[in-house]
Amino acid sequence: MKIVPRDIPPRTVWTLEQAGVHPLLAQLYAARGVLGTDELDDSLVRLLAPDSLLGNAAAATLLADAIALDKRICIVADYDCDGATACAVGVRGLRLLGAKNVGYIVPDRVQDGYGLTPPISQRVKQSGADLLITVDNGIASFEGVARARALGMQVLVTDHHLPASIDGQIQLPQADVIVNPNQPLCTFASKSIAGVGVMFYVLLALRAELRRRGRFDGPVAGSSLAQPKLDALLPLVALGTISDVVKLDANNRRLVAQGLKRVRSLVMPAGMAALFEVSARQARSATSFDFGFALGPRINAAGRLSDMTLGIECLLSDDPARAQELAKTLDGINRERREIEGSMRDQALLVAESMFSNEQAAPPAICIFDATFHEGVVGIVASRIKDKLHRPTFVFAQSAAAGHEDELKGSGRSIVGFHLRDALDLVAKRNPQLLLRFGGHAMAAGCTLRQENLASFEQALSQVAAEWLDAATLTRRIETDGPLQAQYRRVELVDVLHREVWGQGFAAPTFSEELEVLSQRLVGEKHLALKLKHQGQPIDGIWFGHTETLPARVKLAFRLDADAWNGVRRVRFLIEAADYDVTPALQAGTAPLKN
């Protein structure tokens, strides 16, 4: 592990400080590419204009007409947290804007697979829908869109995934309207907006169109409607944005910040409040970390092991008792998910580590399959293996769908510098019959293949990885914000940092410097509790999931946290990494490890 300091432009730091930004925050912002205080303005008026999103005006017209004609609308969701929140935002928002007949369908991960398929379109038609809306999917659903339109439905695709490319040409489904910032000719500046964000922007455009039509001025077609405030949807937008691990550009940070402000004021759907309670988190001090590691996983668990309808219903419920019941169910499913994941992770690590000896480096890409793996958890396990071995990793499980028992469903996670979806695209071009289906992003992707072709896929992916990856990319690195000045080692500053919006592409502050290890011991058999000396002062540290002993002096990467003891809050360091060669032997000056 190499601990590398981020570049901190001094001129930008000075500019931010002159504008009144706290010196530490100015340093952190500058290192993350912030150039001025306008980028830190999280007010709603600073959001990108809805009409800059290609297709949004047409979508607004389509939806406004549907509402005026009282058409039945059905949303086809995805089975992850982004898809679930996008569905909840769509249903809630359309109802707020006057739609009387809005329902939804969420595909089953095992039986239906991903996206709008022809059978799903058939189910939507059987529900009586006139207009089908996809959220967080649909951009590659050529057959499903065609089937829906053949059945007489209008189709609005809202998505954020990359469109399919065939022979170097971008291909789009023949929907009535497509809203996706990553479609050709779209100039919307936030290409990283999540699916829930796209749906929120569609609603903003719809409200503007309804306002233009005089919907909020008085009787229209025998009815009138007070202009609704869509900011009530922002907690859901924030949850989906963080959970989907999209890059937190300035626009996404504003969406998340606005959602967090409302959550901290306890203004949120009953289901979100219940999820905070069952996960033992405090909504009044909510952070983006709570969204990504507490609420999001409980929503995702429903789509992985059960039925995402549970997650969507939790987010749609306005009945606190019903929301609490659903949240408890989701919490139980998440516990089961963790147990399955833990068993699969251990097995997968054994397989991965058996692929090379201690003297050998890991192969350029890793593919793991076991007949006992659950396809709903392969993505999480792939992420854990990728983190452990720092290699692009695919984990496969046998398809549980009836009639597809000879197929394997794989989920992959990648490292910086290796675009996973592009890699799959090249594998498919070189081996036209190898992949049945594939799609995804740079850092996460999925594919389906026949079990007999697994070895060929592994060889083809490793070949691409060997061509694209160099020694520097394959070296595990962690970027930090350098040494922490002693004056910033304060509980109140920890709270300031926690209130900020951190996430993918806008990493939480991590500091690094050489520290003296005064003592160390194991707690809970799998965590390392430390007593450190930081710039002459003792301070506690904890390294979760780490059991190897540390030398007497070591360069550590750490985040700031605060814990409470006898009612007194104290700063502690959460260790992220150490820049040294781990050896089992105790070093001079360190205490033996004990529970």
Alpha carbon distances (Å) from 432 to 171, 268, 408: 18, 48, 17
pLDDT, tens digit, 9 for 90 and up, residues 414-423 = 998 999 999 9
Residue ranges of the chain assigned to CATH 3.90.1640.30: 47-332
CATH 2.40.50.460 given to domain 477-578: yes
Alpha carbon distances (Å) from 201 to 59, 204, 268, 503, 583: 10, 5, 19, 21, 53
pLDDT, tens digit, 9 for 90 and up, residues 88-118 = 999 999 999 999 999 999 988 778 878 899 9
Residue ranges of the chain assigned to CATH 2.40.50.460: 477-578
Residue ranges of the chain assigned to CATH 3.10.310.30: 355-472
- Burial level of 456, CB count in 10 A (0-12/13-18/19+)? middle
Predicted TM-score (pTM) of the model is: 0.90
- For residue 291, the 8-state DSSP code is I
CB 213 within 8 A of CB 159: no
For residue 359, what pLDDT band results from cuts at 50, 70 and 90? low
pLDDT, tens digit, 9 for 90 and up, residues 523-578 = 988 899 999 999 999 999 999 989 999 999 999 999 999 988 888 999 999 999 99
Beta-bridge partners for 129: none
Query: What number of other Cβ atoms are within 10 A of residue 318's Cβ?
Result: 10
Specify the CATH class of 355-472 in words: alpha beta
Say what the pLDDT of residue 112 is.
81
CB 390 within 8 A of CB 474: yes
* Cα distance between residue 580 and residue 508, in whole Å: 23
What average pLDDT does range 418-430 have in this prediction? 93
* Cα distance between residue 395 and residue 456, in whole Å: 15
The yes-or-no verdict on residue 184 having pLDDT over 60 is yes
* Cα distance between residue 113 and residue 116, in whole Å: 9
* Cα distance between residue 452 and residue 457, in whole Å: 10
Strand pairing report for 477-480 and 2-5 = parallel
Specify the CATH class of 47-332 in words: alpha beta
